Amino acid sequence: MASKTLLLLALTTLSIGPAAANWNILNQKWRKARGDNLKNYCESWRINVELNNISEFEVVPQECVDYIKKYMTSSQYKANSERAIEEVSLYLGSCCSLKGDGKEAWIFDVDGTLISTIPYFKEHGFGGEKLNSTSMEAWMEERKAPALDHSLKLFHEIKDRGVKIFLVSSRRETLRSPTIDNLIKVGYHGWTSLILRGLDDEYMHVQQYKSQVRKKLVDEGYRIWGIIGDQWSSLKGLSDAKRTFNLPNSIYYLS
């Protein structure tokens, strides 16, 4: 009887083991039974992504894809983004004054910051699939990304102050024309420079590439008042700005 029981337990372990291992596509340890429900787990995952406690992930955990989809298309996502923009406006009201030499600068990321990539991800698994650069670049060529309204307002607020705006994107140089066309079509104009990745930059990590761009601007005498992006790799690294602001994005991670 005891031997039969042991055999049954062994077979049960073999049958459920792979399922348990694959339940979380990030291959993290199976979380302990703490009474957490799936919504709480996915909310915790999202918050820790935005805090940069979870990084270098390739896909959203499959069990959380629907939750992330609902969040990124919800009024809560919009409210969180708008609150971040409000904090930028408050900062601008007291942080800095123009010195009259044309060297005050602000850096914006492009995708997920000025224009939305959510229409693309609606058709590509909302983070549940590995990011396919060929597919995404084909979508970028279509010039259909909508503006993020709160960012559009902030962009013009900063520009109207007389601050030079630099758009620093991890898009490749081959996408310059569709990027400019898309930005202008949805209301952006008057930036000082759009900086895209050239051939020499393509094999760098995003953080290294963007740090080098900032260093070059500082070496040219610019004082970077602030940076706003939706990826920590857009904000971290040397040649710091006075302040950085991160917009929510739980769909993908660029290092």
Identify the bridge partners of residue 168 per DSSP, sorted by sequence position: 195
Confidence (pLDDT) at 154: 97
Confidence (pLDDT) at 36: 63
Walking along the chain (255 residues) 10 residues at a time, the average pLDDT comes out as 39 36 42 63 93 89 94 94 94 88 96 96 91 94 97 97 96 97 98 95 87 94 94 78 91 81
Decide: helix, strand or coil at residue 191: coil
Nearest to 166 by CA among 215, 207, 99: 215
Contacts made by residues 33-38, CB under 8 angstroms, sequence distance 24+: 38/63, 38/64, 38/67
By the 8 A CB rule, do 214 and 224 touch? yes
Residue recorded with tokens 């996502």? 77
Confidence (pLDDT) at 254: 81
In whole angstroms, what is the distance from residue 59 CA to residue 57 CA? 6
Nearest to 214 by CA among 101, 50, 206, 94: 206
Confidence (pLDDT) at 34: 41
